[in-house]
Amino acid sequence: MTNPLKGRLSIVASCRGAFLGVAVLSGLINLLYLSGSIFMMEVYDRVLPSRSIPTLVGLSIIIVVLYLFQGLFDMVRGRILARVGAALDEDLSQKVFQGQLAAPIKGKAEGDGQQPLRDLDQLRAFLAGGGPSALFDLPWMPLYLFICFAFHPWLGAVALGGAIVLVAITLLTEFFTREASKAAVSAALVRNGISDGARRNAEVVHAMGMAQRIGTRWSQANATYLSYQQKTSDVAGGFGAMSKVLRMLLQSAVLALGAYLVIDGQATGGIMIASSILTSRALAPVELAIANWKGFVSARQGWHRLKTLLDANASVEAPLKLPAPRSVLSLENAGTGAPGGQRFAIQDVAFQLNAGSGLGVIGPSASGKSSLARMIVGVWPTWRGKVRLDGAALEQWLPEDLGRHIGYLPQDVELFAGSVAQNIARFDPDPKPEAIIEAAKFANVHEMILQLPDGYETQVGEAGAALSGGQRQRIALARALYGNPFLVVLDEPNSNLDNEGEQALTAAIMSIRARGGVVIVIAHRPSALAGVDMVLVMGEGHVQTFGHKDEVLSKVLRPVPAAQASEPRVAPVTPLKVVEDLGVAS
């Protein structure tokens, strides 16, 4: 495994030249800041006493040129910092996005799950703002104080005292905003989570009249967020206002002290004006740092969260590329549980399926059927035992490589905003049209797609909102079959299907087996088992029975009593009734 710290150091190292350039420019800018003070001193001490117009003109030309260079350097520094932020985003955005995708799998997602990308945006915005410039200017404060001391010890002492007070204000700002800023981020996650959940379940919220109650919950979470945000803003704003007043007060105090020294004959008028300007300039970076403190704290906390995310998703060195699996799926006393949990959802699952096999998994609710499906496809890592394809454990594959050999239809079907063709092709940047059509025909959805407004180019909308539940499920089935994967796992694939859809599902299962694939069907309705030859019964997280379909079903199903069968029915039912303790719907 690669060292995540090394990866972060490489990012810093790649920007080292840019930061060095910013430091050099900051030095030049701060040296040029002295030009205004020197100009004022020269005007008061040389031009006015001598009444020399040529001297004034010459000094004016010089100061204009110096100010132009100062503005140019300041502009270049800002552009460099903005590009450093863009480079950081370019280097980290994909890693952060992949970490964000992996967070729900690992049980670490909070709120709406978008916080990592917001942290990256915050970091980039801070680098492009005025905060870093203030930090680069801070080391030059001693130069201004030294010059003030050179003018007169009393002037330097007053300026130093003001600098100490402003630094103390900066530290107090950090102390009083740290916890409130962290709490504000946590409250924002809760608020955004409620909003995102309500948006995704808008139909349920509207149909059952829950809008006001969900809105009340959101308002309470929003009020908590605003209270912490307001506390942070109040503290930072209060100290910022205090620093501004103090800087103006110090500038006036230095000016008054300079006037006293001029009257007493210890300084010139030029020194009086120059020391006032230098004091203001010496304290400006501290004031600017306080003004940008909120952004600095947010960027620092965001960077800490990003480091944690990158550590948790440190890239693994690419293993040797394995050949496509073609022979067998085996589970060796495998067990797993929900990400972030401590309790096994399934344990000691062991079976083997050879090429061309079809397995139906049945059992009562909460027996571990869907957990088994997630473990087999690698969504949930095994806590114990192994899941192997042709003898290779799933961990020996990179997810991108493994995904080509797996088709998965989850219980909750989700399509992505894009065209039907893109969804079937799994958003392959260079898909083969014949492979898309082949998968659609295997799922018996080709004719249905052709009836859509734009055929395969029809936009499905966010989460497939433009399609019916049955259409989404059949397109998701075609997506699972795209590329003829060796292993296909279908979790309740007929939950939204009509009779025609169920017949297409059975035909798809048979076609997978016919080409030498392995198919696993999680089922509650016996009709989904028509195309399989093996059945596994789950109960309380363990395998209860495993074997050939007819043999297993003969054990777990019993005929409906004749008297019960003769009772009038609203609709025909199967003549088999499932044993109640297994909970398999009939």
**What band does 486 get if pLDDT is binned at 50, 70 and 90?**
very high
CA 432 to centroid of chain Cα atoms: 31
Task: Please say whether the dihedral angle defined by the alpha carbons of residues 84, 86, 88 and 91, taken in this order, is positive or negative.
Answer: negative
Helices (H), 106-210: 115-128, 131-137, 141-151, 153-200, 202-207
**Residues 172, 287: Cα–Cα separation, whole Å:** 13
What is the b/e burial string over 220-247, where b = at least 16 CB atoms within 10 angstroms of the residue's CB?
A: ebbebbeebbebbbebbeebbebbeebb
Tell me, what's the pLDDT at 463?
Answer: 66
CB 152 within 8 A of CB 275: yes
**Residues 81, 69: Cα–Cα separation, whole Å:** 18
CB 106 within 8 A of CB 339: yes
Backbone angles phi, psi at 346, to 5 degrees: -140, 150
Same domain? For 357 and 416 the reply is yes
For residue 486 the two structure tokens come to 């060796």
248 falls within a domain:
yes
Same domain? For 394 and 290 the reply is no
Highest mean pLDDT among 93-97, 196-200, 482-486: 482-486
3-state secondary structure of 410: coil
Global pTM value: 0.66
* Mean pLDDT, range 158-171, rounded to an integer: 82
CB 133 within 8 A of CB 81: yes
Same domain? For 43 and 135 the reply is yes
Domain count, the chain: 2
**Residues 190, 462: Cα–Cα separation, whole Å:** 23
DSSP assignment string, 179-197 = HHHHHHHHHHHHHHHHHHH
* Mean pLDDT, range 159-181, rounded to an integer: 80
Tell me, what's the pLDDT at 332?
Answer: 92
3-state secondary structure of 585: coil
* CA separation, residue 532 to residues 187, 195, 477, 511, 579 (Å): 49, 42, 17, 11, 21
Same domain? For 53 and 118 the reply is yes
237-256 pLDDT, tens digit each: 787 788 778 878 887 888 88
| CATH code of residue 455 | 3.40.50.300
2 falls within a domain:
no
**Residues 309, 99: Cα–Cα separation, whole Å:** 6
Last residue of a domain, one of 313, 343, 359: 313
**What band does 203 get if pLDDT is binned at 50, 70 and 90?**
low
* Mean pLDDT, range 227-244, rounded to an integer: 80
For residue 176 the two structure tokens come to 């009083």
542 vs 246 pLDDT, higher one: 542
User: How many Å from the N-terminal Cα to the C-terminal Cα in the chain?
Assistant: 49
Q: What percent of the chain has pLDDT over 70?
A: 87
98-137 pLDDT, tens digit each: 777 766 666 555 555 677 877 888 888 888 777 788 888 8
564 falls within a domain:
no
Last residue of a domain, one of 278, 313, 348: 313
567 falls within a domain:
no
* Mean pLDDT, range 280-291, rounded to an integer: 76
For residue 390 the two structure tokens come to 């042709």
The 8-class DSSP code of residue 217 comes to H
Same domain? For 394 and 437 the reply is yes
Tell me, what's the pLDDT at 583?
Answer: 41
Tell me, what's the pLDDT at 268?
Answer: 84
Same domain? For 343 and 287 the reply is no
Same domain? For 424 and 374 the reply is yes
Task: Show the domain range for 96.
Answer: 9-313
569 falls within a domain:
no
Give the DSSP H/E element, type plus range, for residue 328.
strand 328-336
1 falls within a domain:
no
315-349 pLDDT, tens digit each: 556 677 888 889 999 999 999 988 877 889 999 99
pLDDT at residue 573 above 60? no
351-402 pLDDT, tens digit each: 999 999 999 999 888 888 989 999 998 888 889 999 999 989 988 888 788 8
322 falls within a domain:
no
pLDDT at residue 577 above 60? no
* Mean pLDDT, range 439-459, rounded to an integer: 89
Highest mean pLDDT among 185-189, 264-268, 532-536: 532-536
Same domain? For 338 and 482 the reply is yes
Tell me, what's the pLDDT at 570?
Answer: 33
* Mean pLDDT, range 166-171, rounded to an integer: 79
Task: Please say whether the dihedral angle defined by the alpha carbons of residues 62, 68, 73 and 74, taken in this order, is positive or negative.
Answer: positive
**What band does 62 get if pLDDT is binned at 50, 70 and 90?**
very high
Task: Please say whether the dihedral angle defined by the alpha carbons of residues 369, 371, 374 and 376, taken in this order, is positive or negative.
Answer: negative
Last residue of a domain, one of 313, 339, 359: 313
pLDDT at residue 525 above 80? no
576 falls within a domain:
no
Same domain? For 308 and 356 the reply is no
Backbone angles phi, psi at 83, to 5 degrees: -75, -30
Best CA proximity match to 135, nearest among 299, 317, 338: 299
Cβ-Cβ contacts under 8 Å for 149 (sequence gap 6 or more): 155, 156, 157, 160
**What band does 513 get if pLDDT is binned at 50, 70 and 90?**
very high
Same domain? For 479 and 521 the reply is yes
pLDDT at residue 524 above 70? yes
pLDDT at residue 575 above 70? no
The 8-class DSSP code of residue 383 comes to S
Same domain? For 188 and 278 the reply is yes
pLDDT at residue 300 above 70? yes
